[in-house]
Chain A
Amino acid sequence: MSAVLTIDNLHVAIGTTNVLRGVSLTVEAGEVRGLVGESGAGKSMLGRTLFGLLPANATVRAGRITFEGRDLLRLPDQERLSLLGRRIALIPQDPMTSLNPVRRVGAQLTAVLRRHLGLSKRAALNRAAELLADVAIREPARVLDLYPHEMSGGMRQRVLIAIAFACDPALVIADEPTTALDVTVQRQVLQLVERLRLRHAAAILFVTHDLGVVAKICRSMSVLHAGRVLEEGLTADVLTKPHHAYTRALLAATPRADRPAEALKPVPTVLIEGLWAEAHRLDRLPSMRPA
């Protein structure tokens, strides 16, 4: 297999605080890689670095991000912008705030198609209707005329998925796309993402805190904590034979509907404190100091 995305030793700091401490990971063509972490792990920062959406006081201190053979971090702005939304797409977390509330769904979908694929207005509208049909929205022609507030959360998430796959991307960054949804809707949305991924032969970097979701949709996974990848491998291996104590602790702390209450073991506080101490020790190494 060939890699679509290779992140190599990525160091990112916001102000003087390190948020990514040498992250390396690879997304192979056509695979779904899970990026698992709790809040503060740096998983959103990784996504934002890929999209060049870091806050103004953030700096990439070291590392390389290679996408389809090109170094994303050193690409001229114009070239990078032409990749985003077209070759690299995003499914954002929050279906409530990620669509423009004052523009109809149709206008938002066709904007992407016209900008990146150069379609005419009419062609873009037809294609938009097809895309909505692809994400299992009935009466797509009618939905094109709706405003986001006229739709349920599940439907809005489908529209965002349609936008992500609109230009046949090679890589989709899915940032906790089902966190805000009910379980039954979550399952439908995951099934939909899987179907579209296969059809478009896209790879996905699936960012989530939910080990259950990872188990169902990701072939491989990386466990992130304090800006470091603590463990990675095939999902089937990591979940059944976790090497790192943190991964084992996360699994034991995940409530399961199929197990009695006594099975739940919270993550030991000393473990978390130890991991942060280790991260801060790394920060003091000469290589981690600002240049």
Chain B
Amino acid sequence: MTEILLRTGQLGFSYPQRSSSVFRKPALREVIRGVDLAVARGAVLGLVGESGSGKTTLGRLLVRLLEPTSGGIQFDGREISHLSDAELRPLRARIQMIFQDPQSSLNPRLPLSVTLTRQLQVYGRLKGRKDRRDRAADLLHLVGLPTAFVDRYPHELSGGQRQRAGIARALALQPDFIVADEIVSGLDVSTQAHILLLLKELRARLGLTLVFISHDLSVIRVLCDDVAILQAGQVVEHGPVARIFAHPQAAYTRQLLSAIPLPDVEPGWLDDTTPTARPQQQGSAA
């Protein structure tokens, strides 16, 4: 039996919308609705959706940066949906997040030696100044960066190198579970492939469990075992990558797959007048 590391049951999240009057109770806007997911230990789950589908919100719920408004999240058999900050603290070391834009998620004023080991310091796992540099160097080595980068600042790195540093930061506390939110979408093709293969290798080597959020189904196929397709806050299809790519069941999945431009010349791709994916959102904010 595979052991389930993370499970959600009818997970929901909504927030009050701006009210038309201060005297009226604001309407609730549901961003995530009734999401049931299970991630086996050591598996990689892809979360796919277009902008506004709620994939980032769902990711933030899973790492408990947000508190669900309905349903539950079990991590390693324990209900974590409504734990307080103090109760979450020991868990935070086991649950990490890698962010989309390493440019803004690495502190520009600190060298990598400090950024990469800050969490070790917070959790009291550092033994002095020498240890900080050694641990940072180990982390850099783990993600394929030169250990001499300990003294570098984020602006001295290329986009791909920065994303490697972002991954190293998330690995510092040796977490079991990582949510990676669109971490290759800003990268060039040549860099992107390196980062994807690095994650594959780290996952195998460290036994990581990953939730990989992306708008790009092609990228999901490279890295993930399972995929969940999100539309308007609901999971419309969920299953093994191989099956869903070969035999998509939901109409929305088929539409997403057919909209991907593959690098093959295909006359007629532009004449296709399939009905639009979603009603044009006229007059509404993006």
Q: Give the B-binding residues of A (Cβ under 8 A).
A: 38-39, 137-139, 142-143, 146, 149-156, 182-188, 190-191, 194, 209-217, 235-236, 239-240, 249-251, 253-261, 264-267, 272
- Taking a contact as CB atoms closer than 8 A, the residue among B216, B265, B286 that contacts A215 in the complex is B265
Q: If the complex has contacts A152-B284, A215-B263, are A257 and B217 also in contact, measured as CB distance less than 8 A?
A: yes
Contacts of B260 in A (CB 8 A): 183, 212, 257
Residue of A nearest to B245 (CB): A257
CB distance from A45 to the nearest CB of B (A): 16
Contacts of B50 in A (CB 8 A): 182-185
Within 8 A of A (CB), among B229-275: 242, 245, 255-257, 259-266, 269-273
Within the assembled complex, what's the spacing in Å between the Cα atoms of A188 and B258? 12
Establish whether residues B281 and A155, one from each chain, have CB atoms under 8 Å apart when the complex forms: yes
A-B contact pairs, 17 of them (CB 8 A): A137-B282, A150-B283, A152-B284, A156-B286, A182-B215, A184-B276, A190-B270, A216-B265, A216-B269, A239-B263, A239-B264, A253-B190, A255-B221, A256-B262, A257-B217, A257-B257, A261-B200
Within the assembled complex, what's the spacing in Å between the Cα atoms of A188 and B50? 14
Establish whether residues B222 and A264, one from each chain, have CB atoms under 8 Å apart when the complex forms: yes
Establish whether residues B259 and A184, one from each chain, have CB atoms under 8 Å apart when the complex forms: yes
Within the assembled complex, what's the spacing in Å between the Cα atoms of A204 and B197? 36
- Taking a contact as CB atoms closer than 8 A, the residue among A184, A211, A249 that contacts B263 in the complex is A211
Contacts of B278 in A (CB 8 A): 184
Contacts of A251 in B (CB 8 A): 263
Q: Is B193 an interface residue (CB 8 A)?
A: yes
Q: If the complex has contacts A39-B159, A153-B51, A191-B270, are A212 and B261 also in contact, measured as CB distance less than 8 A?
A: yes
- Taking a contact as CB atoms closer than 8 A, the residue among A146, A210, A215 that contacts B264 in the complex is A215
Q: Which 10 A-B pairs have the closest CB atoms?
A: A212-B261, A184-B277, A267-B190, A266-B193, A182-B50, A38-B188, A211-B263, A255-B218, A253-B193, A183-B259
Give the number of A-B contacts (CB < 8 Å). 152
Q: If the complex has contacts A182-B215, A191-B272, A214-B263, are A266 and B197 also in contact, measured as CB distance less than 8 A?
A: yes
Within 8 A of A (CB), among B156-210: 159, 188-190, 192-194, 196-197, 200
Establish whether residues B263 and A212, one from each chain, have CB atoms under 8 Å apart when the complex forms: yes
- In this complex, the interface size class of chain B, counting residues with CB under 8 Å from chain A, is 35 or more
Within the assembled complex, what's the spacing in Å between the Cα atoms of A187 and B265? 15
CB distance from A132 to the nearest CB of B (A): 11
Within the assembled complex, what's the spacing in Å between the Cα atoms of A240 and B278? 34
> Taking chain B's interface residues, is the majority helix, strand, or loop, or is none over half, making it mixed?
loop
Additional A-B contact list (17), CB under 8 Å, known A183-B215, A257-B245, A258-B262 = A39-B159, A137-B282, A139-B282, A155-B280, A183-B259, A186-B259, A187-B261, A191-B270, A210-B261, A239-B265, A251-B263, A254-B189, A255-B192, A264-B193, A266-B193, A266-B197, A267-B189
Establish whether residues B193 and A265, one from each chain, have CB atoms under 8 Å apart when the complex forms: yes
Establish whether residues B190 and A255, one from each chain, have CB atoms under 8 Å apart when the complex forms: no
Contacts of A250 in B (CB 8 A): 189-190
What mask results when residues 41 to 84 of chain B are scored 1 for a CB within 8 Å of chain A, else 0? 00000000011000000000000000000000000000000000
Residue of A nearest to B159 (CB): A39
- Taking a contact as CB atoms closer than 8 A, the residue among B196, B257, B276, B283 that contacts A255 in the complex is B196
Residue of B nearest to A149 (CB): B285
Contacts of A151 in B (CB 8 A): 282-283, 286
Establish whether residues A215 and B259, one from each chain, have CB atoms under 8 Å apart when the complex forms: no
Establish whether residues A185 and B266, one from each chain, have CB atoms under 8 Å apart when the complex forms: no
Within the assembled complex, what's the spacing in Å between the Cα atoms of A88 and B131? 60
Q: Is B219 an interface residue (CB 8 A)?
A: yes
Residue of A nearest to B242 (CB): A260
Contacts of A235 in B (CB 8 A): 265
Residue of B nearest to A259 (CB): B221
Residue of B nearest to A38 (CB): B188
- Taking a contact as CB atoms closer than 8 A, the residue among B192, B257, B266, B276 that contacts A188 in the complex is B276
